[in-house]
Amino acid sequence: MAENMIQADGLVKIYKTKQTEVLALQGLDLTVEAGELTALIGNSGSGKSTFLNMIGGLDRPSAGSLLVGGKNLFTMTEKDLVVYKRDTVGFVWQNNGRNLLPYLTAIENVMLPMHLSSGRRKREKALELLERVGMSHKKYSRLNMLSGGEQQRIAIAIALANSPKLLLADEPTGSVDSMTANYIFDLFMELNREGQTILIVTHDVALSKKVKRVVAIRDGKISSERILKESYADRLKEVAIDWRSEDTQEEYVVMDKAGRVQIPRELLDELQLSGNKLKLEMHDGKIIITSPEAEKTEKEPREAEIS
């Protein structure tokens, strides 16, 4: 049985100001196994960035449980967090200004995290990582001499410098062209095949359609998952597939431990609800969801089926 890399149970995050409280996460449950490549999607304000920051050790939960690589982030001291961020997670930010120091060369940037560890061969390893991301020819270049795509590829090398158990990527293809985006995704796929656990936050439709598991966050909770169909699992490298238009994944709503599900927005729109009450009935092994208002005004009520 695979080991869990991320285990979040009933995760709550509340941000407080003098005037108000914002509930960013509302009892989020998620398990990511070691060796998985998972994409995290959601609208702005859904809680995905908050969740990513917690996993990265940059923010603390208000309630619940969060284990990463067997380490309890809820009970860590500040000293424990420094070691955790150095040895357990690698972070690739969308804003390359957070990934690279502008006054250092590419190789110096990659070597920088290694200075915090006791490992040897720092320069040799940095060169190996730059070669891995196709940037060895830019090893002496500084930030202002690199394109956005080149900066992002070097950022991945920096994130891998201390051989993290978990690689976190926040919109890694958000500011690059499609060719560079494909290169970055292929690199993630190669790393994942070698056993690297990767969690990506993305709005890139094409990228999310290639990932075997896509988790959607809505209103601070996991609302649905999409799993790559078996018929597409072996076709990830085929260039002839139009990933933006083909239906490559099966979608499932997610039930929490209290038996609650979030109904997809398109089904709610079809029901045309005027209130917050629904009727549930079981018929031929299917749950039928009906709007009570529709029954009063139509001979045939609008229905949504969940098999």
CB atoms within 10 A of CB 233: 11
Q: In this predicted model, what pLDDT tens digit does every residue of 186-230 receive, in sequence order?
A: 899 899 999 999 999 988 777 777 888 999 888 888 888 888 876
Contact at 8 Å (CB) between 38 and 211? yes
b or e along 121-140 (b: 16 or more beta carbons within 10 Å of the residue's beta carbon)?
A: ebeebbbebbebbebbebbe
pLDDT band with cut points at 50, 70 and 90 for residue 304: low
Structure tokens at 149: 């795509």
For residue 91, what are its two tokens? 């972070």
In the DSSP assignment, the letter for residue 264 is P
pLDDT tens for each residue of 31-45: 999 999 999 988 888
Residues of 84-110 as b/e, b for ≥16 C-beta within 10 angstroms? bbbbbbbbbbbebeebbeeeebbbbbb
pTM beyond 0.85: the answer is no
Phi, psi (deg, nearest 5) at residue 83 = -65, -40
174 within 8 A of 95, measured Cβ to Cβ = no
State the DSSP string of 121-160: -HHHHHHHHHHHTT-GGGTT--GGGS-HHHHHHHHHHHHT
| Residues 93 and 99 sit within 8 Å (Cβ to Cβ) | yes
**Higher-pLDDT residue of 200, 94:** 200
Domains and CATH numbers, the chain: 4-88+164-253 (3.40.50.300), 265-306 (no CATH)
Q: What's at 54, amino acid-wise?
A: M
